[in-house]
Amino acid sequence: MEKNMGDLRSFVVTQFVRHSSEFEVTQISPTGGFSLGTYTVSLREQTCDVGSFQALHYPCMHAVACCAHAHVNWASYVHDVYKMSEVFNVYRMSFTPPIPEGFPPYGGPTLILDPRCVGRATKECP
């Protein structure tokens, strides 16, 4: 996103249709492998002619330029899957590792953790 913000000067919003939140963005200098040209962005539909906005559910540089032009926070167009709160939810659930059928049971030593050392890294608790 920092790269997109840095490339903002390479885009000019040439047209805006208020009722559909549709923008026409013209690229005035080459950036990120995109050729110079005009792209249509719809913030309401979260689409761009390039296709990355709708595919990744994350604002592309053209959408960021539109947000800057309309004084809208680009972060509101970032899908929840990219938010740290959602990432941490993945680790909330416990799971049982799959053990293949016919796999012999574990016969090694049983490890018992020292409760004083759980979550600590000190000289006494390596």
Q: Please report, in tens digits, the pLDDT of each residue of the chain (126 residues total).
A: 666 666 677 788 888 887 778 999 888 877 766 677 888 999 999 999 989 899 999 898 889 899 988 899 999 999 988 888 888 887 777 777 788 888 888 888 988 888 878 776 777 776
Q: Yes or no: say if 66 and 43 are a contact pair by the CB < 8 Å rule.
A: yes
Write out the two tokens for 47.
Answer: 């689409």
Q: Yes or no: say if 124 and 117 are a contact pair by the CB < 8 Å rule.
A: yes
pTM: 0.62
DSSP-based three-state secondary structure for 93? coil
Contacts of 58 (CB under 8 A, 6+ apart): 52, 77, 78, 79, 82
CB atoms within 10 A of CB 78: 15
Write out the two tokens for 40.
Answer: 């249509």
What gap in Å lies between CA 78 and CA 58, rounded to an integer? 5
